Amino acid sequence: MSKNIRIRSAIVLVICIAAFVYLAPTITSNLPDLWKQYLPTEKIRLGLDLQGGMHLVLEVDTQKAVEITLTQIANDLKEALMDKRIKFRRIETMKNYTIALDMPDNPSREAMETMVKNSYPDLEVASTETHEGIITVNLKIKDNRAQDIRKQAVEQSLETIRNRVDQFGISEPEIIPQGDDRIIVQLPGIKDTARAKNLIGKTALLEFKLVDEEHSLDDALKGNVPEGSVIAYGYDLDRSTGRRTSMPYLLKEKTLMTGGYIERARVEIGDRFGEPHVSIKFNAQGSKDFDRITADNVKKRLAIVLDGNVHSAPVINERISGGQAQITGSFTMDEARDLAIVLRAGALPAPVNILEERTVGPSLGQDSIDKGLWSSIIGGILVIIFMIIYYKASGIVADIALILNMILLLGTMAAFKATLTLPGIAGIALTIGMAVDANVLINERIREEIRLGKTPRAAIEGGYTKAFLTILDTNVTTLVAALFLFGFGTGPVKGFAVTLTIGIAASMFTAVVVTRIIYDYFVWNRKIEKLSI
């Protein structure tokens, strides 16, 4: 029996040391260098509610992504039809996500449909109707392709936001997808939340468009916008008053180029006024396109449009072949820096909306840690004292189990990189209760056995055997509930379930295995005659 005890003790010791090794970095940051080299150094991760920071739930407007794709295809199709000299009266992107084409006769309809079939695999004919000799064909994006576009939009948004956050320089950000079209962004310790939100939520679609100088801007503002042109606004910041004034532009609708070809973007300070601007460099393909565009439009004005706002509209003095451009405008230094980041990281494929925001200041987090920690410690000490009063020496055994339980619970959390949240602390409090319960069950059973007149050895044997089934059933039932909470719950519910699940496992181990070793040691090796219980 004593050999058996030694083996069991060794196993328990190994587990406890492992837990302690994982827990040590959390307790002290003054670890010896040798430790830092070979042993874990990660602290228990704290949830945003404890360490402060921002939690955002974003929704990617995937419908918009489909719409954008559809518009692109429609433009492409229009040019292809003109190239092939297929007659058509009208081509338009409709509100219900279809492209409506008016064809004058059947041959041109057939030619168009053949072309769509061969060159546009994403499109299919949704419906055809004839009205006063004009055949209207409605084309739509195939359902599985639309599904792909939505999925890609979310994936690409995730990637882009991750890039932006990484470049912004926040330590340990968490950016994870949720459901079909949502993205959770967690930024621990962030201070300037407005700026971060702006950086993450900006679509950052950079477009180059020609200024329409053939038509009058005033006429357009009165409502006579010429076909193929749009009105856009530029905003100017007056530094002395801090007021922004807006200025209208009449632009050609067609986008000559987008920011998709940008290789590099960085902030530079202007020579004359010391104002920051963003200088961009295109990649090879972009340089070639930019070269062609500038060559074709010398002496015309090229507007640089970001998310629909005109930043500047300089006159193209000469062909630009180096692939370099500058975005000027009235930026503050931070704005210029953030713009460079979003241009480098790329545009979002579709707009994102903020559905949920939770910001916790660092001082509140610290308060919560302090209060949660202290109340846990006070509660723990009270329970420890109470157990000793009630069960005497056996109470001490139960207390050892309780303390080990805490070390195992926290050590496991550190090892699995689980996050400790405020409800998680409450889960720990419940674990203390469950651990006490297991010990109470065993001790009460042993007392019953002793009352029946059994020897300590037999009483312990009987007590453990009988209590074990009960402990197993109660713990497994709670475990089942906790696992469901973990699977289906969100936020606080999940945090609670994590600590509870680990806690139950630890409590079963300490109550059933660890305490038994101590009792066995005393009755077999020390051969005590009477149990202090």
Partner 1 sequence: MEFIKSETHFDFVGMMKMAVTCSLAVIIVGIASVIFHGGLNLGIDFAGGTLIQVKLKNDVPVENIRKALEPLGFERSIIQQFGPQEILIRTAELSANLNDLSGNINTAFDASLGKDAYDVRRVEVVGPKVGKDLTQKAIFAIIFSWIGILIYVGIRFEFRYALGGIIALVHDVLVAMTALSLTGKEFDLNIVAALLTIVGFSINDTIVIFDRIRENTRKNIRMTLFDCINLSVNQTLSRTILTSLTVFIVLLVLFFFGGAVIHDFAFTLLVGVLVGTYSTVFIASPIVLLFEKIKPSKAKGK
Residues 6 or more apart from 146 whose CB is under 8 A from it?
Answer: 66, 97
- From residue 442 to residue 461, the character string flagging contacts with partner 1 as x (rule: CB under 8 A) and all else as - is --x--xx-------------
State yes or no: residue 483 binds partner 1 (CB under 8 A): yes
State yes or no: residue 142 binds partner 1 (CB under 8 A): no
- From residue 38 to residue 67, the character string flagging contacts with partner 1 as x (rule: CB under 8 A) and all else as - is -----------x-------x-x--------
Nearer to partner 1 by C-beta: 172 or 357? 357
Name residue 127's amino acid: S
Here the tokens at position 384 are 């420890």
Member of 233, 235, 374, 416 binding partner 1 (CB under 8 A): 374
| Category of 176 on φ-ψ map: left (φ > 0), alpha (ψ -120 to 50) or beta | beta
- From residue 189 to residue 228, the character string flagging contacts with partner 1 as x (rule: CB under 8 A) and all else as - is ----xx--xx--x---------------------------
Euclidean distance between CA atoms 452 and 397, whole angstroms: 23
Integer CA distances (angstroms), 422 to 1, 173, 434, 532, in order: 45, 19, 19, 38
**Helix boundaries (H) for 299-361:** 333-345
Nearer to partner 1 by C-beta: 399 or 520? 399
Nearer to partner 1 by C-beta: 84 or 392? 392
- From residue 385 to residue 424, the character string flagging contacts with partner 1 as x (rule: CB under 8 A) and all else as - is -xx-xxx------------------------------xx-
The interface region with partner 1, picked from 1-9, 150-158, 373-381, 523-531 by CB under 8 A, is: 373-381
Nearer to partner 1 by C-beta: 37 or 241? 241
Integer CA distances (angstroms), 504 to 218, 379, 406, 484, 501, in order: 74, 18, 11, 14, 5
Binding residues among 499-518 for partner 1 as defined by CB under 8 A: 500
As a whole number of Å, the CA-based R_g of the chain is 35
Member of 216, 484, 525, 532 binding partner 1 (CB under 8 A): 484
262 beta partners: 282
State yes or no: residue 436 binds partner 1 (CB under 8 A): yes
Query: Three-class SS string for 401-459?
Result: HHHHHHHHHHHHHHHCCCEECHHHHHHHHHHHHHHHHHHHHHHHHHHHHHHCCCCHHHH
CB of 260 to partner 1, least distance (A): 25
Binding residues among 81-140 for partner 1 as defined by CB under 8 A: none
Member of 16, 225, 393, 481 binding partner 1 (CB under 8 A): 481
Binding residues among 341-370 for partner 1 as defined by CB under 8 A: 354-361, 363-364, 367-368
Number of helices (H), then strands (E), belonging to the chain: the values are 15, 19
CB of 503 to partner 1, least distance (A): 11
Euclidean distance between CA atoms 114 and 389, whole angstroms: 90
State yes or no: residue 268 binds partner 1 (CB under 8 A): no
Nearer to partner 1 by C-beta: 43 or 466? 466
Give me the residue label for tokens 């295995």.
513
Euclidean distance between CA atoms 138 and 93, whole angstroms: 10
Member of 105, 155, 213, 473 binding partner 1 (CB under 8 A): 473
**Helix boundaries (H) for 44-93:** 48-51, 62-83
Integer CA distances (angstroms), 507 to 410, 432, 435, 499, in order: 12, 8, 5, 12
State yes or no: residue 434 binds partner 1 (CB under 8 A): yes
CB of 345 to partner 1, least distance (A): 18
- Using CB under 8 A as the binding criterion, the count of chain residues that bind partner 1 stands at 77
